[in-house]
Amino acid sequence: MPCRCGETGGIWDWKFGRNHVSAEENSQLMFYFAAVRNKYPKFFQGVTRVMLCISQPQCNDQEPETWETTPERIDQFI
């Protein structure tokens, strides 16, 4: 699910497996963000911070797990 608040844009991904998945440098989340940014460029225009978030309700880890990056890092990933 894409989201935006001021200069921060991001992706929230719900995972339902029991194995922990890290948000840091997560290629799936970076791909999701790049795809939605490409589809909705006006929505993400002016974004300077990118938050990639994962919720895993079946894990006992701290919820949600987040990783902050930049649009430039997403561009490098592409």
What's this model's pTM, rounded to 2 decimal places?
0.88
Three-state helix/strand/coil letters over 14-38? ECCCCCCCCCCCCHHHHHHHHHHHH
Residue 2 has pLDDT above 90, yes or no: no
CB-based contact 29:71 (threshold 8 Å): no
**Mean pLDDT value of segment 51-72:** 87
- Would you state the pLDDT for residue 59? 76
Residue 60 has pLDDT above 70, yes or no: no
Quote the distance between the C-alpha of residue 35 and its chain's center.
Answer: 11
pLDDT digits (tens, 9 = 90+) for 9-47: 999 998 888 888 899 999 999 999 999 999 999 999 999
